[in-house]
Amino acid sequence: MNMSHLLRNFALIVFGICALGMPAWAQRPEKDYLSSIEADKIRDAETPNERIKLFLTFAEDRLKKFQYELEHPSPNKHTEMLNFLMNSYIGCVDDAADLIQLGLEKQANIRQGIDLMATKAKEFLATLQKFHDEGPELDLYKDNLEDAIEGTQDALTEADKARKKAAPPPVRRKN
């Protein structure tokens, strides 16, 4: 074997290793309950408040889709869709709550996100409770619904605690 043949084989091996590893470096794994467009919006959001708002918007969207699925059941995979939407909802709420905790640890200005979580979590809880009390086919999604209620109550409690811990807004002084 000549030197150019060895170099070419070496280059092919290095290229192959890099090409196999590239997808792992190029992108983080996406949450399975977010579409690629939603994941891009989260990634592109510049502040924790924007990310929290997006996650809560996506959670609200999941509840609306859940309501639609209850009112207009699909002929197949109805149970799977209801449970997927409920799991997706709680994933979004959990991620928003995690961002609040992270923001507190970093002492970021997340008061707007905390306030939005407190407001939306109350609305979400009322909707979830309605599904629990009056929802048709409750036995199909009851376990996930109860998990969602518990997770939303936890998020609401954490938002109330976070309001007390969050740095106060800056005070403007008169000159």
pLDDT of residue 27: 39
Express each pLDDT in 131-162 by its tens digit.
Answer: 999 988 999 999 999 999 999 999 999 999 99
Asked if 156 and 121 count as a contact pair (C-beta separation under 8 A), the reply is yes
| pLDDT score recorded for residue 89 | 97
Residue 140: per-residue pLDDT? 93
Confidence band for 173, pLDDT divided at 50, 70 and 90: confident
- With a cut of 80, say whether residue 125 has pLDDT above it: yes
pLDDT, tens digit, 9 for 90 and up, residues 54-111? 999 999 999 999 999 999 998 889 999 999 999 999 999 999 999 999 999 998 889 9
Interatomic CA distance for residues 36 and 86, integer angstroms: 19
Domain 36-165: CATH architecture, name and number where available:
Up-down Bundle (1.20)
The residues, any chain, with a CB within 8 Å of residue 65's CB and separated by 6 or more, are: 85
At 167 the three-state DSSP class reads coil
pLDDT at 168: 63
What's the chain's average pLDDT? 84
Domain ranges in the chain are 36-165
Q: Write out pLDDT tens, residues 100-110.
A: 999 999 988 89
Distance CA 31, CA 141 (A): 21
Six token digits for residue 2: 């000549």
- Minimal CA–CA distance to 131: which of 155, 119, 147? 147
So what's the pLDDT on residue 91? Answer: 96
The span from the CA of 150 to the CA of 144, in Å, is 10
Between these two residues, 121 and 27, which has the higher pLDDT value? 121
Q: Rounded to two decimals, what is the model's pTM?
A: 0.78
Q: How far apart are CA 130 and CA 11, in angstroms?
A: 63
Tokens read off for 45 = 């959001």
